[in-house]
Amino acid sequence: MRIALDAASGDLGPEVCVDGALRASAETGEEVVLVGPRAVLEGILAKRSLGAAKITVVDAPDVIGMNEHPAKAVRQKPQSSIVVACDMVARGEADAVFSPGNTGATMAAALLKIQRIKGVERPAIAIPMPTINGVSLLLDGGANAECRPHHLLQFALMGSIYYSSLTGVESPTVGLLNVGEEPEKGNDLTIQTHKLLAASGLNFIGNVEGRDIPFGKANVVVCDGFVGNVVLKFAEGIGRALFDMIKEEIGKSLLLKIGGALARPAFVSVKRRLDDSEYGGAPLLGVNGVTLIGHGRSNAKAVYNAIKAAVKTKRDGVTNQIALAVQNYAQLISEV
Amino acid sequence: MRIALDAASGDLGPEVCVDGALRASAETGEEVVLVGPRAVLEGILAKRSLGAAKITVVDAPDVIGMNEHPAKAVRQKPQSSIVVACDMVARGEADAVFSPGNTGATMAAALLKIQRIKGVERPAIAIPMPTINGVSLLLDGGANAECRPHHLLQFALMGSIYYSSLTGVESPTVGLLNVGEEPEKGNDLTIQTHKLLAASGLNFIGNVEGRDIPFGKANVVVCDGFVGNVVLKFAEGIGRALFDMIKEEIGKSLLLKIGGALARPAFVSVKRRLDDSEYGGAPLLGVNGVTLIGHGRSNAKAVYNAIKAAVKTKRDGVTNQIALAVQNYAQLISEV
């Protein structure tokens, strides 16, 4: 198996990508293809010991910046690391791709090159969210700002399949993110989606509310990409704000500082439990090849975990499972 | 001034309402009317010393439960404390109302009895949210699951007026909750709303993302009631989940426990900074009289703060200010 790694677009530079790739390749036994400016990548590799890792380099002289317009950049930079890496999957030269670069550009490149699975109308970004009760999968995390009910049904289906691969849970619970528990609550989208999910045969547990997410009430939480993106970024912000506040308050006296220092390992544990680099990347589900998207700030550990996730997703045949399931659900969807 | 307090519908029972009312009345010098079953309320009052408080009782034998269907319950229980209290404002017998009961029923009763300000299409619930940088106001917090752009413009207008009354800030910053900073980001609703807000003359600072909310990037954050409600409840859940996690981790060794005990005052400070009972209630902006809605779990402090907020809102003439502003904006809205 070969995993194409966009090693040039992350905020932290190519070194962390190379380090993550070395570790992941050695551990999984699979080949990792570093995609980016050849001289730079070979320069970094020359200073590392390969060990058991199988690493190759594919040249991609261009880079798409974090603030470039996704669709435009993908069109104008066919030699960029993101586009070249996606192209490798499209041409069968790689089995999966991971990019810690511009999320929109990675999506655009994947849709353009790898394309959608037949029958999937809207690929969705599935965000692994740490909760007090294990990981939950929130989707769509931002690929589709406007959605229709059958899109959300497909998200639930694709999310359930990926969740099973990620965790081993056989029939993951699915919750519809809404503003109340009752089926008739919410907006047109959620009211219609509720009916579809109830008839889907998935392990649908009904509506979940915002407060249920951090407690992991459902394994898979579906919503449109607008709501999902707001929630995802809000979680990021509130985590940082809370730790900032605790730090500030602990700094206010010597005694508090001593207490804080003694209790520090507890905070480190909490941070580790909330650390999204444990999952490394969020899959773009519904495209016809394993595509994972990482945070711009992905460090070596996040890259390592993302490559491992890519390998596992490919080994478990998630893309094929989704293609089959979508076929089987075509009837249900066409009835809406 | 007379404030009508629904003293019968909160989760914590009428005692906390009476205690909050006594303290708020004594401090503000205004009369608080306890609305609920007369015998119960007079029984509680008999055990308290009135001091400087001006307290009266208006009988309302019925109570609307937390899980009753709002519109149906309001129709079927005209003698319930929520409906009677709203009716007092409608008939000019009270200047403001606060209820810690069923949120939907309070909204329904206020809309039915107090009615909308002329020109306001959709009253909205404005949620004071503690941030690392002072309080922000998020609206709509859940009154309207589906919104159109000019509704959000009215939310921004009403929110700015209320925020000024709440904090003294003269020209509050307004942010549009969205999935990216650029004006063209988001869904149809936000793209159109962005144009309206940019032309509004309000202190519009553009889009804000989920991660900006906990840092107080905008004083007033507008969104539809679906998104606002999800965010509000998610914040509630994530706060609880984080403190649960910290407690759990600190319980894992004696040394951690000692550190935790020493650092405890810092946690208490953080919790106090995040305590929404400091604001007591969320106003239903756009109805033709001061209406505040509280959390079902409102304690005596929350009731006290809500009554103080009601008094201030009435003294500042927020309802009249909104009525005037909506008239002035009618032109802008009609152009959409």
Question: Tell me: the pLDDT tens digits for B193-207?
Answer: 999 999 999 999 999
Cα-based torsion angle of the residue sequence A218, A224, A230, A231 in order, rounded to the nearest 10 degrees: 0
Please state the rounded mean pLDDT for residues B311-328: 95
Please state the rounded mean pLDDT for residues A282-290: 97
Cα separation, B157 vs A117, whole angstroms: 45
Please state the rounded mean pLDDT for residues A7-13: 94
Model confidence band, residue B335 (pLDDT cutoffs 50, 70, 90): low
Same-domain check for residues A60 and A196:
no
- Output the pLDDT for position B329: 82
Model confidence band, residue A328 (pLDDT cutoffs 50, 70, 90): confident
**Does the residue A38 lie in any domain?**
yes
- Output the pLDDT for position A148: 95
Q: Return the number of other C-beta atoms located less than 10 Å from residue B43's C-beta.
A: 12
- Output the pLDDT for position B2: 98
Cα-based torsion angle of the residue sequence A176, A180, A183, A184 in order, rounded to the nearest 10 degrees: -130
* Nearest-5° Cα angle at A179, A211 to B103: 95
Q: Which residue from A236, A249, A256 is facing B262, i.e. has the nearest CB?
A: A256
How is B90-150 classified by DSSP, letter by letter?
Answer: HTTS-SEEEE-S-HHHHHHHIIIII-BPTT-S--EEPEEEEEBTEEEEEE-SSS-SS--HH
If you measure CA to CA, which chain B residue comes closest to A259? Answer: B259
- Output the pLDDT for position B333: 63
- Output the pLDDT for position B229: 96
- Output the pLDDT for position A335: 58
- Output the pLDDT for position A280: 79
pLDDT above 90: residue B271: no
CATH at A245: 3.40.718.10
Cα separation, B12 vs B24, whole angstroms: 18
Same-domain check for residues A162 and A204:
yes
Please state the rounded mean pLDDT for residues A250-269: 90
- Residue ranges of A 272-291 with Cβ closer than 8 A to chain B: 273-274
Range name among A113-127, A143-157, A275-289, B127-141 with the lowest pLDDT average = A275-289
**Does the residue B290 lie in any domain?**
yes
Range name among A12-26, A236-250, A267-281, B33-47 with the lowest pLDDT average = A267-281
Model confidence band, residue B273 (pLDDT cutoffs 50, 70, 90): confident
Cα separation, A281 vs B124, whole angstroms: 38
Cβ of B260 and A263 within 8 Å?
A: yes
For residue A118, give the amino acid letter: K
What DSSP designation does B62 have? B
Q: What percent of chain A has pLDDT over 90?
A: 84
* Cα Dmax for chain B: 67
**Mean pLDDT, chain B, integer:** 94
Same-domain check for residues B65 and B2:
yes
Same-domain check for residues B238 and B94:
no
Nearest Cα to Cα of residue B98 among B158, B35, B15:
B35
pLDDT tens string B37-46: 999 999 999 9
Q: How many domains does chain A have?
A: 2
Same-domain check for residues B132 and B178:
yes
- Output the pLDDT for position B328: 85
Please state the rounded mean pLDDT for residues A185-209: 95
Please state the rounded mean pLDDT for residues A108-126: 96
Nearest Cα to Cα of residue B94 among B137, B32, B179:
B32
User: The complex's ipTM?
Assistant: 0.91
Model confidence band, residue B166 (pLDDT cutoffs 50, 70, 90): very high
| Cβ-contact A35, A8 below 8 angstroms | yes
Model confidence band, residue B277 (pLDDT cutoffs 50, 70, 90): confident
Range name among A20-29, A221-230, A231-240, B35-44 with the lowest pLDDT average = A231-240
Q: Return the number of other C-beta atoms located less than 10 Å from residue A196's C-beta.
A: 22
In Å, how far is A141's CA from the nearest CA of chain B? 10
Cα separation, B244 vs A244, whole angstroms: 18
**Does the residue A324 lie in any domain?**
no
Residue A323 CA from chain centroid, whole number: 19
Residues of chain B in contact with residue A129, where contact means CB-CB under 8 angstroms, are: none
**Does the residue B323 lie in any domain?**
no
**Does the residue B243 lie in any domain?**
yes
- Output the pLDDT for position A276: 72
- Output the pLDDT for position B137: 97
Please state the rounded mean pLDDT for residues A113-127: 96
pLDDT tens string B62-78: 999 998 999 999 999 99
Cα separation, B32 vs A114, whole angstroms: 67
Same-domain check for residues A96 and A127:
no
- Output the pLDDT for position B147: 96
> For chain A, how many residues are written?
336
pLDDT above 60: residue A60: yes
Please state the rounded mean pLDDT for residues B90-116: 96
Model confidence band, residue A49 (pLDDT cutoffs 50, 70, 90): very high
Q: Is A259 on the interface with B (CB under 8 A)?
A: yes
- Residue ranges of A 199-238 with Cβ closer than 8 A to chain B: 209-215, 223, 225-227, 229-238
- Output the pLDDT for position B243: 85
Please state the rounded mean pLDDT for residues A32-44: 97
- Output the pLDDT for position B119: 93
Name the helix (H) or strand (E) containing B234: helix B225-250
pLDDT tens string B280-295: 799 999 999 999 999 9
Same-domain check for residues A259 and A127:
yes
Q: Which residue from A187, A223, A255 is facing B146, i.e. has the nearest CB?
A: A187
- Residue ranges of A 136-165 with Cβ closer than 8 A to chain B: 142, 145-146
- Output the pLDDT for position A334: 63
* Nearest-5° Cα angle at A94, A90 to A100: 90
| Cβ-contact A239, A275 below 8 angstroms | no
Same-domain check for residues B90 and B141:
no
Residue with tokens 């003439």: B317
Range name among A30-34, A58-62, B244-248, B292-296 with the lowest pLDDT average = B244-248
- Output the pLDDT for position B305: 95
**Does the residue A332 lie in any domain?**
no
User: Which residue has better confidence, B31 or A133?
Assistant: B31
Please state the rounded mean pLDDT for residues B25-31: 97
**Mean pLDDT, chain A, integer:** 94
pLDDT tens string A303-312: 999 999 999 9
pLDDT above 90: residue B336: no
Same-domain check for residues B68 and B28:
yes
Nearest Cα to Cα of residue A110 among A130, A87, A136, A142:
A87
Residue A239 CA from chain centroid, whole number: 19
**Does the residue A328 lie in any domain?**
no
Expressed as residue numbers, the domain containing B52 is 1-120+286-316
Same-domain check for residues A235 and A302:
no
pLDDT tens string B82-95: 999 999 999 999 99
- Output the pLDDT for position A174: 98
CA distances for A259 relative to A17, A242, A251, angstroms = 37, 18, 10
Same-domain check for residues B72 and B96:
yes
Q: Is A266 on the interface with B (CB under 8 A)?
A: yes
Exposure string for B241-255, b = 16+ CB within 10 A, e = fewer = bbbebbeebbeeeee
Cβ of A241 and B214 within 8 Å?
A: yes
Same-domain check for residues A190 and A239:
yes
Q: Is A262 on the interface with B (CB under 8 A)?
A: yes
Cβ of B244 and A273 within 8 Å?
A: no
Cα separation, B124 vs B284, whole angstroms: 6
Please state the rounded mean pLDDT for residues A67-84: 95
pLDDT above 60: residue A336: no
